Amino acid sequence: MSKESKKFIIAGAGGIGKAVGLILADRPIVEADIFIGDRDKELARTVAEWIQDGSSSVCSIESFEIHSSQLTNEMDYIFKAGDIILDCLPGNEAPRMASFALKYNMHYVNLTEYVKETEDIIAMVQNADTGFVLQSGLAPGYINILAHKLYNDFISKHSEIIVDHIKMRVGALSKNVSSPTYYAFTWSPIGVATEYVKDANIVRNSELTKVPALSETENRIIHGVSYEEDFTSGGAADLPDFFKNKTNNLDYKTLRYPGHYSWVRKQLDKLNSEGDRIKGLLDEMTKITPHLEEDLIVLYASVSGHNNRGELKQIEHSEVIEPMKIGSHQLKAIQLTTAVPMLEAARMLLKGTHKGAVLQSQIDPERFLSGPFINMVFNRQKKESSIPEENKSFI
């Protein structure tokens, strides 16, 4: 291992963990040595080999077992060598992984939209000497930073206008769907069911409030394709609290093909408690909803407000992202769009002086969105010359 390289510990060898490892190994943005761990030791070993075989680089990649309850000698050895943990495990594991980063003086990045676990980590790391970027995936994550940038651009151009609405929209979709669900699984089924049941945090009429998921379906056309959108939990990250005194309204909604939410509501009407609703919905969806590998990500964000003549002014941004080949492997759009914000957050921590919890509203949107990992996948129409020179350098 080279002295200059950073030691990345990827916790979780599922679809996102393997994508993070492959991008980190194949693209020479950061000099990295990689440890990839999972509860399933054989899966971790297989994924480490998959990354090695698919990458064009010669970085070191080692696998290890993450014990479900103990700190093993192997984990202790690896954590002592690590510079940063990239937590791709289920959200309920986040506080435990963050505690390891705190104990071993490592930086930490996670993806989870879980609210309680995020609050637990914030309390845990308030006096930390290293940085902990929370909820740094696609939604929550990239879409929140994009919305923050659009807000900055809007008030810079329309300083006299009070912002009326900040909208964030993301859909992880397949190219083709059929009745009755008008949907196909392209990522975690339990994640889909959970976000359809738990309340969403929004700003409405300048008040921070919660609304039931799937309680306000609207229609939207993006790049000529019709979608429906509705409230789901978690995607807004900490932006409702950050923007509550800066905008009249702010919300996050998930995009789906028309007809899907009507079917989901019919299933939920048959169920009672929150736990029953998640499990029951998951069971019903799993019976008739296919799992597809070919996917796409649709995203949209806008900021709007009326001027003193009553004219509605708005700026917006939309993208449709499809799978991409990294090294010799094809990565799904959901893998790409979740992995690169995590890696950009990691790069930010390793280059900066961040300490304690770093929430999405606290990230500099201009610098983050012009970063080299982000520009691999998002805003690909931009010329390479538009990337600031400082963001082209290795760590």
Q: Where are the domains of the chain?
A: 6-134+327-391, 142-322
CA triple 94-279-19, angle to 5 deg: 40
**What was the pLDDT predicted at 307?**
93
pLDDT at 276: 86
pTM: 0.92
For domain 142-322, the CATH superfamily is Dihydrodipicolinate Reductase; domain 2 (3.30.360.10)
Largest alpha-carbon pair distance within the chain? 68
- For residues 11 and 66, the answer to whether their CB atoms sit within 8 Å is yes
- pLDDT, one tens digit for every residue, the chain (395 residues): 444 789 999 999 999 999 999 999 998 898 999 999 999 999 999 999 999 999 987 789 999 999 999 999 999 999 999 999 999 998 899 999 999 999 999 999 999 888 889 999 999 999 999 999 999 999 999 999 999 999 999 999 999 999 999 999 999 999 999 999 999 999 889 889 999 999 999 999 999 999 999 999 999 999 999 999 999 998 999 999 999 999 999 999 999 999 999 999 999 999 877 778 999 999 999 999 999 989 999 999 999 999 999 999 999 999 999 999 999 999 999 999 999 999 999 999 999 899 999 999 999 999 999 999 999 999 864 433 333 434 433 34
Q: What is the pLDDT of residue 380?
A: 61
Question: What pLDDT, on the 0 to 100 scale, is given for residue 59?
Answer: 85
Give the DSSP per-residue string, 201-220.
EEEETTEEEEE-TTSS-EEE
Q: Facing residues of 27 across strands?
A: none
Which of 343, 327, 328 has the alpha carbon at shortest distance from 378?
Answer: 343
Put residue 221 in one of left, alpha, beta given phi > 0 → left and psi -120 to 50 → alpha.
Answer: beta
Mark out the alpha helices in the chain (DSSP H runs).
15-26, 41-54, 73-81, 94-103, 115-124, 142-157, 189-195, 239-243, 260-268, 274-288, 333-351, 365-369, 372-377
Q: What is the pLDDT of residue 191?
A: 86
Per DSSP, the three-state class of 93 is helix
- Under 8 Å CB-to-CB from 362, ≥6 apart: which residues? none
Q: What tokens does 258 get?
A: 């028309």
Tell me if domain 6-134+327-391 and domain 142-322 are identical in fold: no
Q: Give the CATH fold of the 6-134+327-391 domain.
A: Rossmann fold (3.40.50)
Q: What pLDDT, on a 0 to 100 scale, did the predictor assign at position 379?
A: 80
Partners of 171 in beta bridges = 298
